[in-house]
Amino acid sequence: MPRVESSDVEAREGFARNGALRLHYLSHTSVLGSPSAIAPYASTGFAPETPCSRTGLSCLILLLHGFPDDHRTWDPLVPALATRFRVITPDLRGYGGSDKPAGVEHYRMEKLVADVIALLDHLGERDAILIGHDWGGAIAQNVALYYPQRVRRLILLNMPHLSGLRRELAANRAQQAASAYARFFQDFLASGPYDAGTFLRQFRGIRHPLRAIDVLRRSSVTALLDYYRANFPRPPYTFVDDAPRRNLKVPTLILFGEDDPYVLIDCVRDNQRWFDAPCKIMPIATAGHWVHHDATRRVLAEMLAWL
């Protein structure tokens, strides 16, 4: 059944399958040309025209959320994006309306990547523009790494190339402190380095805390922690530069809120070394980890200018 999100956007629920696992998603349709959908661009000096819209193609945008979110984290972006693209917002496995298999092995990166490929196959799309935030950004870049032919373009929100994160974990004590929450999720032990100031910044950085609580209620908390147990580096942190083996061959835009208490801005330094395709890095000084909430208009303008 369709459900109306706003006067501009209608969403239809659907389910894709990866083997026995069901993945819940929403497909968003906009009233094309709606004045209120175009209004956010009035001050940018351009209309949100894209190569796909100019050629009459209906490009798919697949938006992958992070922790502790679900498909609703994309609500600020969907009305504008849906005026030009076919927009799909899934719940990752373990979250919301998607299945929640028990066992850490079900949350390894190869399983998460396979979910995205299964979604594309279910939707009948050869490729898509992937947009990912947090864990969604980690998954999206792994899809681009192993299936570059399925990714038309890649947009990462407050997620560096993962080699940049691993480098900073190995060498930067501030990033080690910022990642102590991940060690807690892995082991329920707040192993150092950690400090009260970092904790307070991270707590204050959570956007929509009531929604986050609702996400946890709808999801499997164990599954959400299994993302960290299966995939996040564990101490002692080491780094061996893996360029060019893990270089991405997909054009990429990284939008990064500089006031992120979880993933520090140092992680995007020199990220272009891990790309064999153009990579544009755009720091946003006024935003934090949830850059698409803190600077929605700027994020939309940068995305649509780049696509």
Determine the pLDDT at residue 58.
65
Angle at 114 between CA 250 and CA 84, to 5 degrees: 50
Q: Give residue-wise pLDDT tens across range 48-78.
A: 444 454 434 469 999 999 999 999 999 999 9
Total domains in the fold of the chain: 1
Read off the amino acid at residue 45.
Answer: G
Of the candidates 11, 142, 129, 123, the one whose C-alpha atom is nearest the C-alpha of residue 59 is 129
Question: 217 lies in which domain range?
Answer: 2-306
CATH at residue 38: 3.40.50.1820
> Could you tell me if 93 and 23 are in contact, meaning their C-beta atoms sit under 8 angstroms apart?
yes
Determine the pLDDT at residue 287.
96
Q: Give residue-wise pLDDT tens across range 238-289.
A: 999 888 888 999 999 999 999 999 999 999 999 999 999 999 999 999 999 9
Question: How many angstroms separate the CA atoms of 16 and 140, rounded?
Answer: 18
Percent of the chain with pLDDT over 90: 73
Q: What is the pTM of this model?
A: 0.89
Query: Which pLDDT band holds residue 39 (cuts at 50, 70, 90)?
Result: very low
CA 105 distance to own-chain centroid: 21
